[in-house]
Amino acid sequence: MREGIELIKALSLAFGPTGCEGAVLALIKEEIEALPVELYTDRMGNLTAHLKGPEGAARVLLSAHMDEVGFMITEIEKEGFLRFATLGGIDPRVMVGRAVAVGDEKKRHNGVIAAKGIHFQSADERAKMPEVKDMYIDVGVPDRESAEALVSLGDFGTFDTPFLTLGDKGEYLSGKALDDRLGCAVLIELLRRVADKHLPLDLWFAFTVREEIGLSGATVVANRVAPDIAFILEATAMADLPDVPAARRVADMGMGGVLSLLDKGTIYDRTLIDKALEIGKRLDIPVQVKRFVSGGNDAKNVQRTGTGVRCMALSAPTRYLHAPVTVAKNSDALAMIALLEAMLCEL
In the sheet that holds 326-329, the strands lie side by side as 164-166, 172-175, 326-329
Selecting among 31, 211, 212, 341, the annotated active-site residue is 211
Helices (H) and strands (E) in the chain, counts: 9, 17
Helical ranges in the chain per DSSP H: 4-13, 22-32, 123-127, 144-148, 178-194, 216-225, 270-283, 299-302, 330-346
Element (H, E) at 236: strand 229-237
Is there a catalytic annotation at residue 105?
A: no
Distances (CA, A) of 92 to 6, 120, 310: 30, 19, 36
Cα separation of 237 and 78, whole Å?
A: 39
- Helix (H) / strand (E) containing 50: strand 47-51
Residues 190, 206 contacting (CB under 8 angstroms): no
- Smallest CA-to-CA distance from 313 within 302, 321, 305, 304 is with 302
What's the distance, Cα to Cα, between the start and end of the chain in Å? 29
Q: Exposure string (b/e) for 184-193, b if CB count within 10 Å is 16 or more?
A: bbbbbbbbbe
Residue-wise burial string across 167-177, b where 16 or more C-beta atoms lie within 10 A, e elsewhere: eeeeebbbbbb
The catalytic site residues sit at: 211
